[in-house]
Structure formats: C-alpha cells, structure tokens
Structure 1
Amino acid sequence: MNESQTKGETRPGRITLEDVARDAGVSLATVDRVINRRPGVRQKTVARVEAAIARLSYRPDPLAARLARNRTFRFCFVLPRGSNTFMSLLEEQVRHASDWLASQRADTDIVHADTFDPEALAGALDALGSAYDGVATIALDHPRVRAAIDDLSSRGVAVVTLVSDAPSSRRLHYAGIDNTAAGRTAGTLMGRFLAGRSGRVGVIAGSLALRDHAERHFGFAQVMGGEYPGLTLLPVREGRDDRERTEAIARQFLADTPDLVGLYSIGAGNRGIGAALEASGRADDIVFIGHDLTPFTRRFLVRGVMDAVINQDAGHEARSAARVLMAHCWGEPVVADQERIRIDIFIRDNLP
C-alpha cells in the first residue's frame, strides 16, 4: 500500500484476494481458508475477513478459481453425418464454442453419427464410455437412445441434448427451441398468408422419429385443424433431410394435388423443395414455410419462393450447451434466461 492509500481504500480494477488479505490484515492463506470454509481460523479472524469482503465488494474470479484447482475437462459433441446445411452451420458454431471452452480449460471433440438411426446413434453414445465429462448430442426420442443417455449419466457423464430432445431420459439440459410452439407458429403463418383460401397443404418432415420434427408437426396440425377448417393437411412425408428426396416428394405433391396451396417443410431439404417449386412455375401461388435461416432459405425468401422461415440460432444453441456443461462440471449455477433459445421469424423484409 502506498502512502496515499489508506486502509479500506481499493485499487482500480478487479478486487483480488490480495486486496482482501491486506484490508483484513491477515495472510492470503487465511483468506483462502475463510472463503473455502476450511477449518483452522479463529472466529474473530473469520469475522474480520468477511467484513473486508463486504467492504470491498469482493467477487470471486471463476477462471482464477478454476486455474487454482488445476482441472481440465473433456467434452464431446455428437453431430449428424450428411449435407444438412443447418447442421453444418451448427457444427461451425460448435467449433467456435470449442475455442471458448479451451479458454475455460476444457478440450472438445466432435463425433459424427447417423442421427436418424437409433441403433447407430445409441452405438456412438455407448462408444464414448467414460472418456468424457460431458456430452452434447442431437437426440432421437427412442428407447435405445434414451438408454444410452441414461448409461452415460449413470457413469457420471453429463448429457445435454441439442436441437432435438429426449425429455424422459436422464439428460441434464435441452439446448433448443420449443418445437411445438414453432410448429404452431408455422401453422398461424400459413393460415394468415393464405388469407381465406381453401385447399390442401403438403407437409414434409425429415423424420418423425426426431422429437423436434414430431413436435413441430403436432403444433402445426393443431393450428390447421382448429383454426383453418378450409385447409386440409396431406399425410406427412419423410425426406430424411435429404435435398433429392425432399425435391422428389415436393414434385409429387405438385403433380398429384391440383388444389395444393401450401407446403410446410418441418426439417431440412428446403433447397429441394424450392427447386421443385421454381421448376413448376407455381411458386407465386403456393405458400412455402420452412425452418432455419441458411444461405439457401435466405435466397428463396429474397426471390419470393419462400414466404417465411422460422429460425433457431445455431450459435446460441452451441454456446448454451457449452456453458451448461462447463457450469455443471464446476458446480456453478446456470442462468435459465440466458439459456432459453428464442424462436425467430424471418420474412424477406427483415432478413439480418
């Protein structure tokens, strides 16, 4: 302390343990014992240290505490194989989140699996064993996958489901949007854009085995059936988020359904649907609503082929999964509002 600084005055910048020790007139080791509730300190000294903490408004530095504990964690993200554009964006965001995790003393691996195949996904999770402290995975709500998540949890591995949930499993947290609400939002937009027209609406999912796709379909059908009786939903078709498959399904809808007035794409494959609409010459007459803002859906919005995109922020989801796993491993609280993933609605006029 210099001559111009008296006891109780603080230096500029973050208050440190050294500041607390100096203010209380004790050693740094004593302050550390008081803060960590270790024995061997007289009650009178404890009171002096606690008074100094209150007077200086000391707040622990989480990273410094982690460094002092000299712990390093290992995390794994299990992501889909394939050419799904949104999942490619998600993987890019996971790699960005991995850079942050590295600064927090956590190493990150990425493993790819067929997330449409419950046996393949469960096998990938089983193969992780106890090698990781935390796992984030795209989930299938299937008994085999739930069992694999539960097995990881029983071995002390924290599991966060990402984008698609398995809520009855022992997963720690779900990082994704409310997909029933997203489906209902799509239904409301479809009904309002069609503005009293009657006809049939085609629905294309990736797979209803994915809970996010099943919940979106449920929400969409709820609104369509309850609020727009002039619109009839065609049986849902599954394209496994593949561009060529979804294009073939869209072409079939267009060829077989003269009174087709709308198309709702629950998952990926929007590039194929947009191509089919443009080739048919009916893009101006059919309301096309889908999910996830990608370079392709952005282009279709600008061209007027798509009418609306319901988006989930891949970066927010990746960062949320990383934060929750990190907080769990350090025994720190999670800020629920920070981890809530918003539903965004984009039309041509509000593209970011």
Structure 2
Amino acid sequence: MRPTVHDIAEAAGVSLATVDRVLNRRPGVRTQTRAKVEDAIARIGFIRDMAAANLAKSRIYPLVFIVPQGENSFMAGLRSEVEAAAGRSMQERIAIRLIDVPAFDAAALVKCLESLLEIPPAGVAVVAVDAPEVHAAIERLRETGTIVVTLVSDLPAALRDHFAGVDNVAAGRTAGRLMGRFLAGRQGKVAVIAGSMLVGDHRDRLEGFRERLHDIAPSLQILPVMESHDDPNAAHALVADTLSDHPNLAGIYNLGAGNRGLVKALEARRHAAGVPVTIVHELTPFTREALQTGLIDAVLNQDAGHEVRSAIRVLKARIDGQPVVAAQERIRIDIFLKDNLP
C-alpha cells in the first residue's frame, strides 16, 4: 500500500494540518518542523499525485517576478515576456505578479524581498544583485518555504533553488575566443565595459573573457574594466574617452547593456580612423542594425522567453517537490554575425 499523509504525520510526530502546510508550501511552519516532515516523506517513500491534488484543490501557484527597471533593452524584453506569461497564467494555474526595482540597487531589492515576507508567495524569480544584504533577505524568504529561482544573473548555488539563464562564464569565454580570432596576430589594447560588478553575470562574463583571451591572444592587453550601469549616455562617454586616449584601440567587449551609446561613439569614429573589433550581448533591433552596418562584429544572445518559461516550469516543479528536467531548462548561448542574422 502506498504511504499516505497520515503515515507522514505519524512518522514526523506532527499534525495533519502541518503536513498539509509543508506539502503545499504554505507559511506558518518552523524550519525545524518543515525539515522533520520532509525527512519523514523521504524515509517512508511518499509520492504525491500532484495533478490530482491540484485539480482537487483548484490550486493556483502565486509567483512573483522581480525585474530591474531602466533603459536596458534586454530587461525590457524580459519584462514583456513576464507580462505575456502573466496574460496566459490562469490557463496554467499560476498567478504572476511583476515587480520592478531600480537596476543594480541592492537596498531596493532587499526592500522588495522583505515586502514579500508578510504573505510569502509560492515562488519568486529574481534578477539578482550579489550583495550580502540581498543574500540575507533571500535566506529569510526561503525560510518561509518560498522557492527562489535566480533569473539572468545568478547568486551562489546554496542561496537559491535554481538558476534560469545562460552559463555566463562560458558566454565570456565565447566572447574571448571570438575576440582572439578576430584579432589574430595583432597587438594592442582591448576595452571592457560592464554594467556593474555587483551582478554575478557581469563578473562571470569578465572572468571567462579574460581567461580565454589570454589563452588565445596573450599579446592583447585588457584595459581596466569600466562600469556604465547599463546607461547609454554613460557608455557613450566611456567609449568616446577611451577611443580618444587609445586611438589604436584593437577591440571593445561590452558585457552589459547600453549598446546605443557604444554604437554612437563608434559611428563618430567610423570614417576618421576606423572602428575596433566590437563584441556585445543581446540581439535587439539596435544591435541588429549595428551588425548589418559593420559597427559591431558579433552579438551573443540569450532567449528571454525561454528563461521566463524555464523559471515558471522550475518553480512549479520545485513547489510540487518534482524533479527538474535539466536538458529542457538549459539556456543556450546564440552567436550572431552579420552573415547569420535570423
């Protein structure tokens, strides 16, 4: 005979109401008690028929997506994908709430996370800022039983349940290999622009880029990293100043956003002295045009829609205590040149 919820309650020494709260990821259960129930579930081999349980209870999964505000075209696209998912959410028995926070603002993100503690959602997907105060806020939220998925920008694995995004170290390595191949045999300097080193995806991309470019083209010198905070005006000023200081600049890698400002600075330079090899992230209408006109040499892209759908699938699976299909949730890195634009 298959184990029942009564068997779990007896094995854990708790009430049926407590077992129900744990199984349905509701608040009001202490961490130690939750651990006892989960241990009992594992020991007796309880397997829940989630489809039947959800149908019987007409269960709705309350999910929250926390996305940065600003002029970042990729984040605007990500927000649109979340809004589209929210529009069809009732068909999938989920209720999605989208919350905007200022980009790269750890204090604002902490305030947002703490606002969820009063009535914790079943799951949260968050574009993370990697700061100690954010770590602590996420730990407090997870103690309520909320499942946390990091989206696009990751945190240490112990702090979250899953990451929905590309392997950003691999993305940086890919950019480094492309830069090394494009500049094969040349010497010179390469400029790197980040949005902020407070976010894990930018740090990871920088690590991978440095590692691979040094392996392939050790004669190229990477200049100190500049931070644009993904602001096009700041990116324009940084690139214009760098081109003025280094007239023979060999390459530029923008591992964040703000590409409109970058391209504006390159456009001003195009006819006077030529432009450096330039690699950026995210295929948008603007970067597509810059690829076609030769101001940008390569774009590394991630599918925002896939990331949002993956986050939803993972949140639902983890809420239900079901396994995640790793192959389905792997987000690929697309490489676009002028020659293979879709």
Preserved contact between residue 254 and residue 281 of structure 2 (Cα < 8 Å): yes
Preserved contact between residue 191 and residue 223 of structure 2 (Cα < 8 Å): yes
SS in 1 for 2:238: helix
Equivalent position to 1:304, from 271, 274, 294: 294
Equivalent position to 1:126, from 114, 125, 133: 114
SS in 2 for 1:306: coil
- Is 1:276 matched with 2:265? yes
Distance 1:211 1:153, change over 3 A: same
SS in 1 for 2:279: strand
- Give the number of the structure whose alpha-carbon radius of gyration is greater: 1
Which aligned pairs between 1:75-224 and structure 2 lie closer than 5 A? 75-129=63-117, 130-224=119-213
Equivalent position amino acid for 1:244 in 2: N
Equivalent position amino acid for 1:160 in 2: V
Query: Residue 140 of structure 1: CA displacement?
Result: 1.4
Q: Which runs of 5+ in 1 are unaligned?
A: 1-33, 40-59
Query: Residue 126 of structure 1: CA displacement?
Result: 1.0
Query: Residue 38 of structure 1: CA displacement?
Result: 8.4
Structure-1 separation of matches of 2:263 and 2:54: 50
Structure-2 separation of matches of 1:150 and 1:162: 17
Query: Residue 168 of structure 1: CA displacement?
Result: 4.5
Alignment match, 1:5: none
1:32-83 CA-to-partner distances (Å, cap 9, x unmatched) read xx888689xxxxxxxxxxxxxxxxxxxx996565222322221110000111
- Is 1:318 matched with 2:318? no
- TM-score by length of structure 1 reads 0.80
Identical amino acids, percent of aligned pairs: 49
Structure-2 separation of matches of 1:199 and 1:106: 53
Query: Residue 255 of structure 1: CA displacement?
Result: 0.6
Query: Residue 170 of structure 1: CA displacement?
Result: 2.6
Aligned residues: 299
**RMSD over aligned Cα atoms:** 2.0
Structure-1 separation of matches of 2:5 and 2:209: 57
Equivalent position amino acid for 1:140 in 2: V
Equivalent position to 2:281, from 267, 286, 291: 291
Preserved contact between residue 101 and residue 322 of structure 1 (Cα < 8 Å): no
1:113-170 CA-to-partner distances (Å, cap 9, x unmatched) read 1231211111111111133111100011211111111111001111100000112543
Query: Residue 290 of structure 1: CA displacement?
Result: 0.5
SS in 2 for 1:281: helix
Query: Residue 227 of structure 1: CA displacement?
Result: 2.3
Preserved contact between residue 192 and residue 226 of structure 2 (Cα < 8 Å): yes
Preserved contact between residue 228 and residue 234 of structure 2 (Cα < 8 Å): yes
Alignment match, 1:233: 222
Structure-1 separation of matches of 2:126 and 2:103: 9
Distance 1:61 1:37, change over 3 A: closer
Preserved contact between residue 68 and residue 75 of structure 2 (Cα < 8 Å): yes
Structure-2 separation of matches of 1:178 and 1:158: 21
Mean Cα deviation higher: 249-258 or 280-289: 280-289
Structure-1 separation of matches of 2:210 and 2:5: 59
Structure-1 separation of matches of 2:257 and 2:301: 12
Which aligned pairs between 1:233-252 and structure 2 lie closer than 5 A? 233-252=222-241
- TM-score by length of structure 2 reads 0.83
Structure-2 separation of matches of 1:322 and 1:280: 44
Equivalent position amino acid for 1:277 in 2: L
